[in-house]
Structure 1
């Protein structure tokens, strides 16, 4: 029998956060000491409702505002950097991207000769992806009889309700020498401690889990996988600070956001606690 990962062990209150995007509802963020992680409580029955907002930018190709245009430009730059990282790991070119959004990431890899596959639950995002000739499935179970040399999850793991089961699925879908790339926010970063309940990367209730570096190590150790490399996502400190300022004051406060993002990255040079971190994992 496979060992079940127990998350709900001695949960204690950490802080109360508000859903600033859709509902204005409040949620408790609880501490799970065993895994050095935080847990959103309660979990809404209809999670899909909380993604139904035009402001949820990863499901659109919007370029209406300066903010939209800046986001899309940074996304393009980030995709090229991610390609450079991943292309250095794999001799095989078969990739699965989970939470593929509108397909730009996979479209770029396809243009470089990779065989691409993706999962995206949002129908509108899948339609936009199909227009780029990248066809996405709506759930990971569609790939249960496949294996991949590279699996990527860019800010997706924190959204997964059935976390322990999903982690075991990731291990099964990965080839023996494959690479799993997971990027998640880090609640131990400076910007998280500075903005507290207004920190945009808590993003309750869409973010169900809030990870530290130790929690990623512990969770994947349960399925005999280990972190072999870590890389910071430095831009996230600025982006999250910008959204956090808006959560806190109702305004983007670009100067304050930039200064706090910069400070977060500077402090992380000593602590390694960046706002978001890319984890490169392999089977033991």
Structure 2
């Protein structure tokens, strides 16, 4: 693998990291990958574990999050067959599962971060700490919303996840796209690199190649339009030390316009099913 980019952990530790290109898989790999990853999540800056709503950016995140939750449930509803059973991996503070329950889904969630699980418990949603303690149950839908990029031992983790997918079930993967315009524009300051929490950085081609090894085929993709704006705001802060909402808005907008024509949005939802 050859060096693609040098970057750093802008949000928590300030440590330097490198991204190396796996040319065969068309995927970037974070190096080095710390043995103790948990300490890189232990901060109020990691909003998906805190439900923070203090700054203007936090409030914007929470508004978009609430809208996105409903959109995600509408999306998985299209793939419900028979019993509506859902497993959400990396469930954070449980909001997606709570929304899915409103739509009559039978839900289960996995979240390794203890603080996030405690916040979820306060909302009456119990989460398991790891997939290994999940009973031998199968689900119609399994979701990983911005989670796959965090998982060490990637192929082993995918194998364990797919054990819980029904034969006619659907797997939903949402990840950033390092081939997007905003990634190229911000380069080492692109917030969605989020090293070292993000161990892998995917493209559409890498998702197809990684999952084909597990007899999964890509059946549909959906852009996540809001991500370009949110990521651009964070990236501007990392690059300049200021929020620069207006400039970030136009970078995000241009990234989305470009994506309409080149199919490379800032983040993508991939829907995969077992090969027939």
Alignment TM class, shorter chain as reference: over 0.9
* 2:111 paired with 1:141: no
CA distance in 2, matches of 1:51, 1:154: 17
- Which residue in the other structure is 2:206 paired with? 215
* 2:231 paired with 1:227: no
Local SS of the residue matching 1:34: coil
Q: Which residues of structure 1 form unaligned runs of 5+?
A: 1-10
- Which residue in the other structure is 1:18 paired with? 8
Local SS of the residue matching 2:24: helix
Map residues 85-164 of structure 1 onto 2, 5 A cutoff: 85-91=75-81, 92-143=83-134, 145-164=136-155
- Which residue in the other structure is 2:166 paired with? 175
- Which residue in the other structure is 2:196 paired with? 205
Partner residue of 1:68 out of 58, 70, 75? 58
CA distance in 2, matches of 1:64, 1:200: 20
TM-score, normalised with respect to structure 1 = 0.95
* 2:233 paired with 1:236: no
- 1:21 CA drift (Å): 1.2
- 1:144 CA drift (Å): 5.2
Instruction: Tell me how large the CA RMSD over aligned residues is.
Output: 0.8
CA distance in 1, matches of 2:6, 2:135: 38
Moved over 2 A (4+): none
- Which residue in the other structure is 1:268 paired with? 259
Local SS of the residue matching 1:31: strand
Q: Which residues of structure 2 form unaligned runs of 5+?
A: none
- Which residue in the other structure is 2:27 paired with? 37
CA distance in 1, matches of 2:264, 2:37: 29
Q: Deviations over 1:78-130 (max 9, x none)?
A: 01011111001112211000110011100111122211100111111111111
CA distance in 2, matches of 1:15, 1:39: 10
CA distance in 1, matches of 2:237, 2:135: 41
- Answer yes or no: is the 8 Å Cα contact 1:21–1:53 preserved in 2: no
- Which residue in the other structure is 2:269 paired with? 278
Partner residue of 1:58 out of 17, 36, 48? 48
- The alignment covers a number of residue pairs equal to 274
- 1:230 CA drift (Å): 0.3
Which moves more between the two structures, 104-113 or 74-83? 104-113
CA distance in 1, matches of 2:159, 2:127: 22
